[in-house]
Structures are given as structure tokens and as C-alpha cells.
A and B are shown apart, each in its own frame.
Chain A
Amino acid sequence: MAEHREGAGQAGQLSEHGHPAKEIHQLDRVVIRFAGDSGDGMQLTGDRFTSETAQLGNDISTLPNFPAEIRAPAGTLPGVSSFQVAFADYDILTPGDAPNVLVAMNPAALKANIADLPKGGTIIVNTDEFTKRNLAKVGYDSNPLEDDSLAGWDVHKVGLTSMTVGALAEHPVSKKDAERAKNMFALGLLSWLYSRPHESTMHFLERKFAARPELVAANKAAFNAGWNFGETTEGFAVRYEVPPAQMAPGNYRNITGNTALALGLVAAGVKAKLPVLLGAYPITPASDILHELSKHKKLGVTTVQAEDEIAAIGVALGAAYGGALGITTTSGPGVALKGETISLAVALELPLVIVDVQRAGPSTGLPTKTEQADLNMALFGRHGEAPVAVVAAQSPVDCFHAAIEACRIALKYRTPVILLSDGYVANGSEPWLLPEISELPDLRVEYASGPNGEDGKFYPYLRDPETMARPWAVPGTPGLEHRIGGLEKADKTGDISYDPANHDFMVRTRAARIEAIDVPDIEVEDPSGEAKVLVLGWGSTYGPIGAASRALRQRGVNVAQAHLRHLSPLPKNLGEVLASYDKVVIPEMNLGQLAHVIRARFLIDVVGYNQVRGLPFTSTQLETMLEEVIKNV
């Protein structure tokens, strides 16, 4: 790892437990991957480690990776669940290409992850699970802990299960509960190894097992046993520290993209002073947004779990018609079902936000894996000329701001807006400098309250000259009774019209309306000002592209980076920006959907770099690719 360099060793001190304190080495960045069976609690362990690390003030980025099956057969490769966390004393953009440390709770976890761990990395492995039977289940002919297949790595063989059970011998808990606490033992050991504060985990256990005090005590004891094991065992000669990062002052919390997105929608409702109504049908990886929003009734959020995705958007549109901020959240298969209603919303010119947390397709595809292949659908996937605004989120924290931006456009311009997230940013997390509410944009808009025509009549399709938005005349407003629908409407009056010229005019007007949306200019990061190659991205590739660009610049290679928040309409300065570089490279987790749009729109021959493996790009891979392109310009 280029970024993983060891600092100076520190003199040993006597630890609080009375053992001669171990040597402490300083690191600037560490990537740990916790891997185990789905039932081993790896997501929770990773979450706790992340939280402890956040308390310490490191910058963090996380990447969970879990199977589509809720409980695949225990001990099998498909059942492996993992959680990767990168933390550093500087600001980082990705959860790391490869871990430095792998915690493997069973043979399956070792087998599924070992290929990602560079030689020399650390493996902490639960020896208790390396039974003949478990080895056979994943196709190990001989025990890798006993042959020399792990020779290139620094392997720590720890009986995590047996030591946990031993440590809990005096605790009034079942053997099963004792065994289940092994993840806390592992967490304790890792917390010791990386000098993490453990108070937040203690409080967490008190909350989690509030109803069963014996489990609070047992899990705390398991954590402490792991910590003490690290301190006393000869197996770990050094401890590490990663000092806090230089981060802007303020209050922070660690946040996943899905939670941030949900909170952004809540915030938009508050800043618009409108009730929020979410219509949703459960689907991975979007369901967590529904779960989160269902908790915020106090802030005026109503959630309707509809009978299907079509009903879900129908409910949202009905509420929007009634004057609410109508939202629907789903993933690609759901957006496909919503297409007809999105077209209706285009015709009705009502505000509506459609969130697509993309996953790998086609069809059910890889439902828990990430992809960016719904861009075409978002831009073009409807019948008729049905343009909508499209906004994409680039990182977990950015999901909050992207959600507010999507709502802003929907409300101000009375249009459906598709907000694209994906599994990578949705489930990943990073520290969030909590914003001041007063600094968030004011999203208030006005309902129509009276006639808008010079003749004193009300015209439902008479537009605001600045925004081209039609009046939002909600039922209940006396004197503005009117009918709207999917049939083509006459300009201004909104009456049904089959007139050819009117239809042509209305189609062009709907397109012009979207093009007229005020989106900020795209900014280019080109510190040297001498780059010849621009790497253009959108959505969740921001982290890996950013990390790759930084790494190149550190080596004196010039590269410019620009990232699109708005995919429809595109920023007004985009053509000019693209034209000012010799080469434009577009990495995407699809087969070139943005590249296609850019070529068609600006007639420039962009270089696509495409991968659809259900996984984000690694920064190293992008770095290598970009260097190659730059060399050949």
C-alpha cells in the first residue's frame, strides 16, 4: 500500500493492566477487513470498530459486503459476510483497495478473502473453526494453518471461540450465547491492537442488551478478554496507533449513504415547510431508506409501504398533487415498473422525487452488489419524449446533499427528479461534519392561491417566466378547480388538445423546461493547471477516481478531475471544460452509458473505462489506467 507507511516507534510504557507495555508503532492509515459467516456478527463488529475509530478522530471510509441470502448454509463460501474499514490520519476517499489486516472467523472467510490481502499483510484467524468438516465444506484439502500456504503473511492463530467460552465460564449464559460473543473478543483484540477507545462499545452493549443484563456482562467480558489477550500474549509484539486526522472543527457522526439520503429527504421537508410522503416497496439496497424515514413522523414524514412499486410512486404522486413533497425510493427493477407513472408526472408537471439505489442487473442480477447501469434508464427509460432531471450522489455523506438538491429541483421546477445512488455509497459510511440547519438551502415554494391570467381566470399551464414551472394549485384552493391528466394539454389552459402544433410545442417546452434548470457549473480539480487528460465521473466513482488522481499527482503526474452531480440537465460549462483537455476519460461501473451521452452531445471521442463486477473500482486500477492514457496523449 502506497499510503501505508510506518511511523517512528514509541518508547514502551507500563500499561494500565500492569504488563510491561508493548512497543507502539505509528501508522498513518490502516485497512481492516472483518470476515466471517453471516451469523458471526461481522457487520456489527465492523460497525463498532468504526464507531470507536470515529470517536478517536480518524478519517474513515467503510465498505460492507454481504451475501444476498439471509442465512446461506453456515460455513460455506456463499455465506461469507465482510466489513472493511479504512482509517487514517489524513482525509481519505475510499475504504481502501486491499486490506492490511484480515480477521477470518472461519475457513470460508479465509478462503473468500485471502486473495485480496497483499503478501505481508496480517491475518488473525479463529483456529477453532478450522475443523476437518469446515475445511472440507470450502474445498480445502489440507488445513492452510498447518501447511505452508500462508507463508507470505503474518498469521496470528487465535482460538477465538474457545477463549471466549473460557472467559465466560463464570457467566450465567448458555454455551451458545458464550460462543456468539466471540465477535466481541475479536473486537476487543483489534481495539487493543489499534489503540481504540472502547467506551462507546460498552455503552452500545448496554443499550443493545438492555433487556438481558447477563448478556451485557458477558459481551463486555468477552471484549475485555480479547483486549487483555492482546496485551499479554507474546503473539502480538507491537501495538499501533493511527493519530487523529486534521478535520474541520465541528460535530461529527459516522453515516451510511442510505441514512444520509433519508435524512436529506427529512431535511428537505423541513426546509420546504412541507409534509413529506414516501411511497415505497421494499427492495435491496434501498429498503433502509424506508426504514429510516418510517421513524420520523414527528418531523412530518408519512411512509406508505405500498403493494408494489407502481402503487408506491402512485401514492407519492397523489400526495404531490395534494401539495406534499412526494417521494418514492427503490432500486433498478422498481424504477422499471415506475416508468409509466414518471411519464404521467412529466405530463402533470408536478414535483416528485424518485430515488434509485442502483444494484447490479439485469433482472435480479446481483442484488447486494453495486453498479451504475441505470443511467440510461434514468435519462431515457420512458415512453414518449419524457425528460426529467437526474441527480447523482458521489459519497455516503453526499447522499444528504444530493437528496436536498433533488428536492429543490423537483419543487422549484415542478418536475420529477431521479436521484441516483448505488449499493456502494448506500451501504458505505464515512464521518459527516454535521451541517447547521440554517445553512441548508431554503426550499420554500408557494402554492397558487388565485387566478393567474390577465383576464382574471386561472390557467393551470400558464408558466412562471423564470422557472417555466406551472402553478402548483392544490385541491382545497377555492376558485382554482381544474382537471389535469395524461392526455396532451393545450398550452396555458391545460384543456385536452389533439392539435398537432400544440403537441409539438408542448413536447419542446417540456424539454426546454428541463434544460433551463439552474444547475451549478462543473468544477475541475487541476492543481497544476497543466493536465492534458481530464477524468470525468459521476456518482459513486468519485472516491476511487479522487484517490487515483491524488496518487498520480503525488508522483508528479498531472491529471484533471471533474465529477458530475447533475446528469440532466448537464452543467452549462461542461462542453467548454471537456474541450479544454486533449483527452477525456470516463470510468463507469457500466458499459459506457455516460460516455455515450457525452459523445453524442459534445461530439468528442471520450475514452471509456468500464467494469461491471459488482464491486467499486480500486484506486490502484484507475491509477494504472490513467497513467497509461496520460503517457499516450
Chain B
Amino acid sequence: MSNAVPVQLSAKDFKSDQEVRWCPGCGDYAILAAMQTFLPELGIPRERTVFVSGIGCSSRFPYYLNTYGMHSIHGRAPAIATGLSVSRPDLTVWVVTGDGDALSIGGNHLIHALRRNVNIKILLFNNKIYGLTKGQYSPTSEIGKITKSTPTGSSDAPFNPISLALGAEASFVARTIDSDRKHLQSVLRQAAEHQGSAFVEIYQNCNIFNDGAFEVLKDPETRDAYLIRLEHGQPITFGKDGSHVVTHPAGSFGLAVSEAGAVDAGEVLTHDAHAEDPAYAFALSRLAGPDLRHTPVGVFRSVRRPSYDELVRNQLDAAKAKAGEPEADLAALLNSGDTWTIL
């Protein structure tokens, strides 16, 4: 594989020749554009970058990037990416998935990839709906959601993807929004730099089947009151001119929101994405209600723990250090155990 110094690439280099087929106005376009302009910055040659996706509108993503890519089957991308990543440490492997793909049919693979800390970057495009199958409710749809398959409202409670990832002890967990390119790219950057599994939930608008699902987080009228931007090492404040803060009330497991003037400056929580205990990030993930009020975005958690790939490779390298010529080792293996000779 080439060791040549990579030439400076541009967004154009990462565009494939395929016509993009999402509905006009779909949030996926913004994410794709953000990715195409961000990838050159990493300095990783195109051939070392691989996108693996499942099935869904979101999972068409790899077709539009001029890297290696596999559009696989519904829900299984994390498993396929695990096999690729663990056997090819020289590659940067991204997984693109949807809320149905990752949390419904592929829920098992997602949590196990995160638990193992496989060195893959998982981008979950959450539009709170099944887009490709034309609008059924998804595991992130709010309870009571009226869709084609739930004409009288859904009866099941949704997952909070961030809480779920933290429950699996993911080492990197973040959330961002399709429409905020700067924020999106800053989160992608941190995910790309992370060693181990990076889980990024991207709020994505499906303007056909669930239009405006995240509007309160985007509308200049409401967004300041709804959105909490997390910055590592910074006090957690939000609202117009920092009108509100997040605190950890004594005696409570969870966090709370107060008006800035109502608490001492010392009580304002300073965001620590590196906190070892995932309970802190979990508490942050519980701040938002079903109406999206107090939705944190940014990096919830970023801790270093050995990746599955590293641990597997270490064992392999240790064994290989004792290896001789492969055919001779194979002959020795076949001839091991209780053998006998017939003359």
C-alpha cells in the first residue's frame, strides 16, 4: 500500500461521480457536504478511508464519496466494519447508519461494537423516522407518534441514542445537527481523532416524512433556549447571554437547569468530557425532554481506553514474534500431538 506523501486534496476529490438521489431539501445533503469539505483536512489518502453503511436513506452516503465504500445490509454495518477494522489497522473506517438501521434491526451490533471499543467512527443520522420505507415510526420517534404504521399514535417509548451509547460504555459520544456545518465538522474532527469507537448522533431533518423534527433547535427564535453547547473545560451555560446554567443539585443523581442569577458561579457545572465515570455524561444525556428543551450538543464523553483492534493486534503480534517460516510452522502444527510413524 502506498506510502507516498499525500497530495493536498480538496472537497472535489472526495465527490464520487454518482448522482445524489436524496429528496431535495433532505438534511443528508448538508451532512454529505460537511463531510466532503472536512475529509481533506484529515490528510488521510482517499484509499485509506472506507465508509460502510447499512440500509436506509442515510446509508446511501458511501456512494457519494470517492473513497472505498460498502453499502451493506440493514443493521449490520457495525459488524462488517468490525471485521474490516480489526484486520486492517491501516484504514480509517466510518460507519453511516440511521435510527432504524442502528437502533432497531442493528441494535445488537451497535452496542457490541461500542462495548468492544472497535476503532470505527459511527455516524447515526437520526431523523426519528424510517425514511426509505416511506415514513413508519422509528425507535427514536416520540411516544404517540402518528405515522403510516401508527395511525392512532405509537405506543412505545423511544431510545435516547446518547444514553444508549453511554450505557454500552462507548468511549466517545457526541451529538450534532445537520444544519450547523461548523459544529458538525468540529465534532467529526474530534471523532476522527479518537482512538476506539466514536459514536456521533446527527440530528437530521427528513423533510418528507418528519419535517421540522428538530426545528426548535434551529429556529433563531427558540434555539438559544433549547440548545446547550458543550465545550470541554467550560462552564455549561446557555440561553441568550448565558441566561441559564447547568448544576448538579446536592443529593440528586441527575443534573438540573437554573437561571444563571439563581445560583453561585461556583455551582455551575464545568463540562468534563474526559470524566472516567460515564454516569456524568449519562446525566447530561437525560437533560433534554421529549420537546427537545435543553438538548446538549457537542462531545459528551471522550475517554481513552484500549481499542478492541489494539488488544487483538497485541495478541497477534506477540504470537507472531515467535513465528518462523509459515510453511514450517504449519508442518510443525500438523505434526503436533500424539503422532506415530509407519515405516
**Contact string against A for B residues 158-188, beta-carbon threshold 8 Å, 1 for contact and 0 otherwise:** 0000000000000000000000000000000
B160 to chain A, nearest CB (A): 22
B111 to chain A, nearest CB (A): 8
Of A24-32, A295-303, A527-535, A620-628, the segment with at least 4 beta carbons within 8 Å of chain B is A295-303
Residue ID in chain B nearest A277 by CB atoms: B87
Q: Chain B residues near A277 (CB, 8 Å)?
A: 83, 86-87
Q: Is the CB of B76 within 8 A of A307?
A: no
Contact of A270 among B318, B327, B335 (CB under 8 A): B327
B63 within 8 A of A: yes
Q: Is the CB of B79 within 8 A of A306?
A: yes
Residue ID in chain B nearest A432 by CB atoms: B334
B40 to chain A, nearest CB (A): 14
Q: Chain B residues near A486 (CB, 8 Å)?
A: 55, 71-73
Q: Chain B residues near A302 (CB, 8 Å)?
A: 86-87, 312, 316
A310 within 8 A of B: yes
B39 within 8 A of A: no
CA of A310 to CA of B110 in the docked complex: distance in angstroms? 13
Residue ID in chain B nearest A48 by CB atoms: B338
**Contact string against A for B residues 244-284, beta-carbon threshold 8 Å, 1 for contact and 0 otherwise:** 00000000000000000000000000000000000000000
Q: Is the CB of B334 within 8 A of A324?
A: no
Q: Chain A residues near B80 (CB, 8 Å)?
A: 314-315, 317-318, 321
Q: Is the CB of A251 within 8 A of B48?
A: no
CA of A252 to CA of B326 in the docked complex: distance in angstroms? 21
B58 to chain A, nearest CB (A): 14
Decide: A318 near B18, CB < 8 A? Known: A341-B73, A344-B73, A475-B50.
Answer: no
Interface size class of A (residues with CB under 8 A): 35 or more
Decide: A481 near B340, CB < 8 A? Known: A307-B112, A475-B68.
Answer: no
B90 to chain A, nearest CB (A): 6
Output the residue of B52, B83, B84, B323 with the most chain A CB within 10 A.
B83
Decide: A315 near B82, CB < 8 A? Known: A251-B340, A476-B88, A481-B67.
Answer: yes
A311 within 8 A of B: yes
CA of A618 to CA of B124 in the docked complex: distance in angstroms? 57
A323 within 8 A of B: yes
Q: Is the CB of B63 within 8 A of A311?
A: no
Contact of A298 among B1, B72, B83, B320 (CB under 8 A): B320
**Contact string against B for A residues 433-477, beta-carbon threshold 8 Å, 1 for contact and 0 otherwise:** 011111000000000000000000000000000000000000111
Decide: A318 near B52, CB < 8 A? Known: A307-B109, A435-B334.
Answer: yes
A257 to chain B, nearest CB (A): 15
Q: Is the CB of B338 within 8 A of A270?
A: no
CA of A200 to CA of B62 in the docked complex: distance in angstroms? 59
A341 to chain B, nearest CB (A): 7
From 101 to 139 in chain B, residues with beta carbon under 8 angstroms from any chain A beta carbon are 108-109, 112
B222 within 8 A of A: no
**Contact string against B for A residues 285-325, beta-carbon threshold 8 Å, 1 for contact and 0 otherwise:** 00000000000111110101011101110111111111110
Q: Is the CB of B329 within 8 A of A495?
A: no
Residue ID in chain B nearest A344 by CB atoms: B73
Decide: A248 near B342, CB < 8 A? Known: A297-B315, A310-B79, A475-B48.
Answer: yes
B132 to chain A, nearest CB (A): 12
Residue ID in chain A nearest B111 by CB atoms: A307
CA of A317 to CA of B320 in the docked complex: distance in angstroms? 24
Q: Chain B residues near A318 (CB, 8 Å)?
A: 52, 79-85, 87
Q: Is the CB of A314 within 8 A of B76?
A: yes
Decide: A322 near B84, CB < 8 A? Known: A297-B315, A306-B79, A437-B327.
Answer: yes
Decide: A253 near B81, CB < 8 A? Known: A247-B342, A310-B76.
Answer: no
A324 to chain B, nearest CB (A): 5
A263 within 8 A of B: yes
B100 within 8 A of A: no
B168 to chain A, nearest CB (A): 11
B216 to chain A, nearest CB (A): 35
CA of A317 to CA of B79 in the docked complex: distance in angstroms? 9
B97 to chain A, nearest CB (A): 13
**Contact string against B for A residues 244-270, beta-carbon threshold 8 Å, 1 for contact and 0 otherwise:** 100111111110000000010011001
Decide: A326 near B329, CB < 8 A? Known: A481-B68, A485-B71.
Answer: no
Q: Chain B residues near A275 (CB, 8 Å)?
A: 87
Q: Chain A residues near B45 (CB, 8 Å)?
A: 478
Q: Is the CB of A434 within 8 A of B339?
A: yes
A331 within 8 A of B: no
Decide: A322 near B73, CB < 8 A? Known: A252-B342, A307-B108, A314-B82.
Answer: no
Q: Chain B residues near A279 (CB, 8 Å)?
A: 79, 83
Q: Chain A residues near B338 (CB, 8 Å)?
A: 51, 54-55, 200, 204, 253-254
* 9 smallest beta-carbon distances between A and B, as pairs: A318-B83, A485-B71, A314-B79, A297-B319, A315-B83, A318-B80, A311-B79, A475-B68, A318-B84
- List 15 A-B pairs, Cβ < 8 Å: A252-B342, A275-B87, A314-B72, A316-B83, A317-B83, A318-B52, A323-B87, A324-B87, A436-B331, A475-B84, A476-B90, A481-B47, A482-B69, A483-B63, A496-B63
A binding-site residues for B, Cβ under 8 Å: 51, 54-55, 57, 200, 204, 244, 247-254, 263, 266-267, 270, 273, 275, 277, 279, 296-300, 302, 304, 306-308, 310-312, 314-324, 326, 340-341, 344, 348, 434-438, 475-487, 495-496
